[in-house]
Structure 1
Amino acid sequence: MTFKYTIIGMFCDGCRTKVEKALNDLEGIEATVTLEPPIATITMQKPVQTDQFQEALSKAGSYSIKAFNPNDLHLPVEQVVVEHPKNAAGKYYCPMFCEGEKVYDDAGDCPVCGMDLVKAPDLAAVKIEFTCPMHPEIIQDHPGSCSICGMDLVPLEPKDSEENKVYLDLWSKMKIALFFTVPIFIISMSDMIPNNPLLKVLDTQTWNWAQLILSLPVVFYACWIFFVRAWKSILTWNLNMFTLIGIGSGVAFLFSLVGLFSPDIFPNEFKTHHGTVHLYFEATTVILTLVLLGQLLEAKAHSRTSGAIKELLKLAPTEATLVSNGVDKLIAIHDIKKGDSLRVKPGDKIPVDGKITNGESTIDESMISGEPIPVDKNINDTVIAGTLNGNKSFVMVAEKVGSETMLSQIVQMVNSASRSRAPIQKVADRIAKYFVPTVVLASIITFIVWATFGPEPAMVYGFINAIAVLIIACPCALGLATPMSVMVGVGKGAQSGVLIKNAEALENMNKVNVLITDKTGTITEGKPSVEKVFAIENNENELLQNCASLNQYSEHPLAEAVIKFAKLKQISLIEVNDFEAIAGKGVIGTVANKKVAFGNRSLMEQIEAKVTEDLEYKISAEQKLGKTVSYIAVEGVALGFISISDAIKETSKTSIQELIRQGVEVIMLTGDNENTAKAVAKELNLTSFKAGCSPEDKLNEIKRLQAEGKIVAMAGDGINDAPALAQADIGIAMGTGTDVAIESAKITLVKGDLQGIVKAKNLSHAVMKNINQNLFFAFFYNVLGIPIAAGVLYPFFGVLLSPMIAALAMSFSSVSVIANALRLRNSKL
């Protein structure tokens, strides 16, 4: 029984491979999956419910399956999709990732730590509206001219971002808190001035009532949210920094209220020489205002750390020039469809991914690759959305639009990685879990010790020092230490052409001590060109026709070189039957009723082709020159070869030397022959290489090194590299490579050369160093501050830490972490 199904959610060949494997893993199922159209043809021995297929696909990824409907093939992908995977874009998440990847639909507080939820950037370009600069009432969703005055419409300025709204709300509360806290502070501190001038105006009791009235807007409006968060944390027993702030400042405020309304219930040691009780309205309001300041700075910092994503989104232009029937028409970026011809004028941004069909230019790709040197582009060359055209005009065809463009994929990857958790974060999480109860216990012990053994008024000393312990120990800096560095580091990497899939990859890259690298497309340009076609019987054109025809179905870079060479020779391609690509060896098929094989020595051995000694000699001579040589066999007899050269990238040698200097062992594993591999290794001063490697050989070599305790990174760009990329501790794909390789990797290099690995290594080192510095700042203030706040220095130096100074120190620890993380933006990779 054979049935067809529509597969939903596939966007690349990597998706197709995963879906096909997931279906074939089911017992009694034989499935063939195609990407365009997205159809699975399934042969089953006995009836299988669609739910079973869906269960298998859900484990493989965000894919759906439904009964095939031919009408689906005529709909855009977004209309075919039944259910999209839940995405964080536009949602709210905790900046400390208390609940991992969990997101919320609405703004609010994290139920675990109480922090303000942060809105993840909307990854899709916002629908641009256009307005007239003279008549703002004219608004439409596409470019054009004003219906009143005829002026060209301009894009409407975007509204304030969510982060900016949060910041402005906190800033308005901060101004209120400052307005009322400063007078309270002045009134309280005036007691330290000889012959207090304020007492000449009003008595102490009246000034105490003034402090109460002034503190009400601070406690019950500007900073009330901290008490709400503290109460929630106690109810749910998710004790956090706001638990300590709420208890400490709340106890101080309640104590002051009781002292003001019922002073007679307090013993004399709690009273001043004026007969009034020592009140702490100033400690309460100053502490809360300083915490609010910390929240304000954090809101500003989160806006800055997501700046990389915002800058990437800004790269996408809002409009493009459509060429239709020889006429240029200005359209919105959202209206571009695959296959559209677009004119890119000098100085314009490339609107979508595609290829040049007419003209040439020099394009600045620095915003994508991080490389400042413009790149020459000619007909059939690929251009990337968001890059900047030089001083020439050209026409391109749109191939990838919307979320399919490289820019969109980069934004998605940066956003996902920014929200992922590094393994080192688990250490901070474990500490924070036990930290708050420990601090509360320390505060209670501090009060008991001072009340029992302290000087008079002992109870007052105990009360003040207990509050100071609660305040200074707030672990907000501890929670921010890792996420802040990861967010800034991932953004910095994206701006330098290094795309990191998650925080774990960012952390582990620093530990890598072995780099496995492929040759073609990784060390070399990956743009091979045919140098020679040799035929034993002088029928070179016939052999070339057989090979080119066979290779028209292959994705390998060598295949493209052969086809291009055949076209230059004006040799036509003919039909091929029984085509099969044998990973790591070559391709076989039937051409003109003859069995043809094109590949390396291993393929010749597999099909048991006869190879003469003279042919072997000629091939060996070519290989010693560093050429890649592929055998051509017809009906089981090797009749010639094609010699192909692939230039080594200019950056490969310097990059390898730098990695070796950093203590990384570099090993080249290639499917090419021994002689060619040896020539390349010699030029690069590589001491370790292996030739003739199949995908399985590469996989096994990585497993062997990992068994020895090595931390292995693998760099590759082809389909045959995908298993090794997935097995390696860090898979590094060249952005110029295949979709399945990029899908399998944890780091993608946009430009696609080894210099990007050096950048990734340097970035990882800088981020981990930054995280460790942040953890030091967090622990330094807490560990040093708690005993000082408890009064350990008082018996020796007479030094006590007031709750206000403790609050300042606590806020300063958060500011230190944020400022230190932002330094990563200026790192040189």
Structure 2
Amino acid sequence: MAVQDDPVSQNYVGSVLKDTFRKLDPREMIHNPVMFVVEVGTAVVIWLDIVAKSASGRSYDTLVAVILLMTILFATFAEAYAEARGRAQADFLRRTKSSTRAKVLQPDGSTTMVDSSQLTRGSRVIVEAGDMIPGDGVVLEGVGSVDESAITGESAPVVKAKEDAVTGGTVLLSDRLVLEITVNPGETFLDRMIALVEGAERQKTPNEIALSALLGVLTLIFVLVVVTLVPIARYFGPHAANITTMVALLVCLIPTTIGALLSAIGIAGMNRVSLVNVVAKSGRAVEAAGDIDTIILDKTGTITIGNRMATEFLPVPGVSVEELAEASLISSLADTTPEGRSVVELAQKILHLDTLPEYTGEPVPFSAHTRMSGIDLADGRQVRKGAVSAIRAIVQDAPHELEVNAELVAKDGGTPLAVEVDGRALGIIRLKDIVKSGLKERFADFRAMGIRTVMATGDNRITAAVIAQEAGVDDFIAEAKPEDKIALIKKEQAEGKLVAMTGDGTNDAPALAQADVGLAMNSGTMAAKEAGNMIDLDSNPTKLLDVVMVGKQLLITRGALTTFSIANDVAKYFAIIPAMFAAVPELSGLRALNIMGLKTPHGAILSALIFNALIIPALIPFAIKGVKYRAESADKMLARNIFNWGILGVIIPFIGIWGIDRILGLFGLA
């Protein structure tokens, strides 16, 4: 499912502009104390501009009022733009919902192609090999092999016959089915997700609430400082400072940059997880992902590709590799499972076959009772492959090497399949779980961040240890049952750690609910999706790794922009304070603080205000897309951010204010 790089198209421009002005309502602005103070200050300056009698005073007041108004508009635009991206995501989900086409069976036997979103309870549809099942339903006719690995985590396809239930989003691998849909439009998971994205109000996260409180306290302190300065300035004469200048000083000293971008950063954090096709039920979940200490990952479908693959033929003495490969090929021609196809592909390579040979006979499907499958050939030969114990039971005088090779495969973390022809054992097929490429490096990155990775699997301890070592996880639990996962989560949380995990089945629901970050699969059960606080629309369990990275990026972005906002207040201090009292003989020593060489008090104040306004839209891309994140320890991350966003946050305003002052001088405004 593709995701737009920038979902805010021209259709949303009008909506963004409308919301930008709507958010100027003081009843909305009061929730952001920093920008509310700026709005009140702007109203005061506009009132002074209206009643001012001096032409020069009116000109100065007008310029300050315009700049302050632009500052507020840039702040409300940042939040409106971030919200518009969320609405665009909802529309994108709506389009995705209708992207699956369904063959609806008409009463006269004909078929009509419609969008899956138009299917209603009772609709009958035809699904053929390779088609995605368009909705939840029940099989009316036919028998077919369905890939449900995204739901159950089991790599082997499931045979569906009459009266069996099927789930929308799964794929029919073979044959043809006639289904009856059992859900109505509006009852699907995507419908609920669209309502969630469009209708739910974003709740502030604990860290965001704490930062908002800190900004509110800082704002109150600076208000008191400026109010205290007013009588001092009046003491030295009206030329020292007027109300407009005091408002400008207040706006430049309070952390307006982070105050303007704080809400946008939080909204964008939820939107960024949507770029990896994950819907977050709350901003708390995204933020919690950034603080995760332990990640619990299932082996099948998460660490491994989900399908065991044939990697080697191990013949017994007296049998050639080619003979074993040919028998394995014959026994697997009718096997449509991923493992069966991998056996055929490996045999083709060994035998150097460009096309598959034709063998006539009666296929013998796999069953849980016999634990084997194969074919009864027309020439009378019987070829079987299956569990070693099952093959050994029908083979007379099985060679000792058959058991030796089987144990060798098992100790190496693989699954052995035995092959026999007419009661004669030929050897072992090695099936191996293939670890997904790049995971070892990603786990190393998490280790560098102090995040512990744990693999959970139902395999025996030997197999689990081999896969864990190959994947590079820090620990594993073998023969794990659902209650074992919950016990592990509670144990980690009791030690003060935050835990994340993925799941898709009903038996995963308790663990998903217990975890601090529970990523449920879209194609999983309703219980799992209700229990999790995030849902992956692609049903890809490895997406949890991306979610953690997004959470880390959210926290780093908020910290970086907060550091920058506070740091650039220093430069604005050196611009305005010297300019305010430059004309006071008794305070001539303050002129030494004018290290930027700003020409006039009014020019210095206007330059600082313009920079203060322009830096907000300049940082909107960082707030929306996030600051670049690197996998490293907290100490290195802190040191790097202090330099990049702290030291540079001081230097850049000095350069910017100095440059703006020179430009204003060209127009006689400084």
- Shorter-chain TM-score tier: 0.5 to 0.7
Pairing 1:284-363 to 2, within 5 Å after superposition: 284-289=65-70, 291-292=72-73, 294-296=75-77, 298-317=79-98, 322-325=104-107, 326-329=109-112, 335-342=118-125, 352=135
* Letter of the 1:481 counterpart: L
Structure 2 residue 560 is the aligned partner of structure 1 residue 765: no
Change (3 A) 1:489 1:348: farther
Structure 2 residue 276 is the aligned partner of structure 1 residue 491: no
Q: In the aligned structure 1, how far is the partner of 2:626 from the partner of 2:445?
A: 23
- Which residue, 280, 295, 304 being the options, matches 1:515? 295
- Which residue, 471, 486, 492 being the options, matches 1:705? 492
* Letter of the 1:769 counterpart: I
Structure 2 residue 443 is the aligned partner of structure 1 residue 659: yes
Structure 2 residue 43 is the aligned partner of structure 1 residue 250: yes
Structure 2 residue 572 is the aligned partner of structure 1 residue 785: yes
The question of whether the paired residues in 2 share the 8 Å contact of 1:725 and 1:741 is answered with yes
* Letter of the 1:251 counterpart: V
Q: Which has the higher helix share?
A: 2
Pairing 1:457-536 to 2, within 5 Å after superposition: 458-459=239-240, 461-473=241-253, 477-520=257-300, 522-523=302-303
Name the counterpart of 1:446.
229
Change (3 A) 1:820 1:354: farther
Q: In the aligned structure 2, how far is the partner of 1:706 from the partner of 1:816?
A: 40
Return the offset for 1:655.
1.9
Change (3 A) 1:296 1:492: closer
**Equivalent residues, number:** 495
Greater relative CO, 1 or 2 (CA 8 Å, sep 6+):
2
Change (3 A) 1:824 1:328: farther
Structure 2 residue 64 is the aligned partner of structure 1 residue 283: yes
Name the SS for the 1:424 alignment partner: helix
Q: In the aligned structure 2, how far is the partner of 1:277 from the partner of 1:307?
A: 43
CA shift digits 1:130-159 (9 cap, x unpaired): xxxxxxxxxxxxxxxxxxxxxxxxxxxx9x
Return the offset for 1:819.
1.9
* Letter of the 2:446 counterpart: Q
Change (3 A) 1:399 1:825: farther
The question of whether the paired residues in 1 share the 8 Å contact of 2:512 and 2:518 is answered with yes
Pairing 1:70-219 to 2, within 5 Å after superposition: 164-167=13-16, 169=18
Structure 2 residue 628 is the aligned partner of structure 1 residue 823: no
* Letter of the 2:490 counterpart: K
Q: In the aligned structure 2, how far is the partner of 1:349 from the partner of 1:817?
A: 43
Q: In the aligned structure 1, how far is the partner of 2:496 from the partner of 2:18?
A: 52
Q: In the aligned structure 1, how far is the partner of 2:602 from the partner of 2:126?
A: 68
Q: In the aligned structure 2, how far is the partner of 1:278 from the partner of 1:480?
A: 27
- Which residue, 427, 445, 467 being the options, matches 2:210? 427
Unaligned runs of 5+ in 2: 1-7, 152-156, 310-364, 373-402, 417-428, 583-590, 632-670
CA shift digits 1:97-156 (9 cap, x unpaired): xxxxxxxxxxxxxxxxxxxxxxxx9xxxxxxxxxxxxxxxxxxxxxxxxxxxxxxxxxxx
CA shift digits 1:497-556 (9 cap, x unpaired): 434333222223233333233345544566799xxxxxxxxxxxxxxxxxxxxxxxxxxx
Q: In the aligned structure 2, how far is the partner of 1:397 from the partner of 1:476?
A: 58
TM-score, normalised relative to structure 2: 0.58
The question of whether the paired residues in 2 share the 8 Å contact of 1:626 and 1:680 is answered with yes
Q: In the aligned structure 2, how far is the partner of 1:807 from the partner of 1:394?
A: 69
The question of whether the paired residues in 2 share the 8 Å contact of 1:256 and 1:280 is answered with yes
The question of whether the paired residues in 2 share the 8 Å contact of 1:488 and 1:825 is answered with no
Name the SS for the 1:458 alignment partner: coil
Name the SS for the 1:402 alignment partner: coil
Change (3 A) 1:731 1:817: same
Q: In the aligned structure 1, how far is the partner of 2:299 from the partner of 2:536?
A: 16
Return the offset for 1:759.
1.7
* Letter of the 1:674 counterpart: R
Return the offset for 1:677.
3.1
Name the SS for the 2:191 alignment partner: helix
Name the counterpart of 2:527.
740
Name the counterpart of 1:775.
562
Change (3 A) 1:485 1:229: closer
* Letter of the 2:614 counterpart: F
The question of whether the paired residues in 2 share the 8 Å contact of 1:521 and 1:716 is answered with no
Name the counterpart of 1:690.
477
* Letter of the 2:508 counterpart: D
CA shift digits 1:469-515 (9 cap, x unpaired): 23335656434534323433333323324343332222232333332
Change (3 A) 1:394 1:480: farther
Q: In the aligned structure 1, how far is the partner of 2:540 from the partner of 2:220?
A: 51
Name the SS for the 2:206 alignment partner: coil
Return the offset for 1:338.
2.9
Q: In the aligned structure 2, how far is the partner of 1:485 from the partner of 1:361?
A: 46
* Letter of the 1:310 counterpart: D
Return the offset for 1:778.
3.5
Structure 2 residue 513 is the aligned partner of structure 1 residue 726: yes
Name the counterpart of 2:339.
none
The question of whether the paired residues in 2 share the 8 Å contact of 1:239 and 1:436 is answered with no
Q: In the aligned structure 2, how far is the partner of 1:566 from the partner of 1:303?
A: 53
Pairing 1:789-828 to 2, within 5 Å after superposition: 789-791=576-578, 794=582, 795-796=591-592, 797=594, 799=598, 800=601, 804-824=606-626
* Letter of the 1:490 counterpart: M
The question of whether the paired residues in 2 share the 8 Å contact of 1:448 and 1:462 is answered with no
CA shift digits 1:283-337 (9 cap, x unpaired): 3345335544554565345323543232222223399663212233466766521
Return the offset for 1:789.
3.4
Return the offset for 1:346.
13
- Which residue, 213, 220, 234 being the options, matches 1:437? 220
Q: In the aligned structure 1, how far is the partner of 2:298 from the partner of 2:58?
A: 78
Name the counterpart of 1:182.
none
CA shift digits 1:247-269 (9 cap, x unpaired): 43333344344443xx7xxxxxx
Q: What is the alpha-carbon root mean square deviation over aligned residues?
A: 5.5
The question of whether the paired residues in 2 share the 8 Å contact of 1:320 and 1:351 is answered with yes
CA shift digits 1:10-51 (9 cap, x unpaired): xxxxxxxxxxxxxxxxxxxxxxxxxxxxxxxxxxxxxxxxxx
Return the offset for 1:425.
0.5
Change (3 A) 1:676 1:825: same
Q: In the aligned structure 2, how far is the partner of 1:628 from the partner of 1:412?
A: 45
Name the SS for the 1:491 alignment partner: helix
TM-score, normalised relative to structure 1: 0.48
CA shift digits 1:769-803 (9 cap, x unpaired): 22223323443444543564344785222644656
The question of whether the paired residues in 1 share the 8 Å contact of 2:506 and 2:527 is answered with yes
Return the offset for 1:763.
2.0
* Letter of the 1:727 counterpart: Q
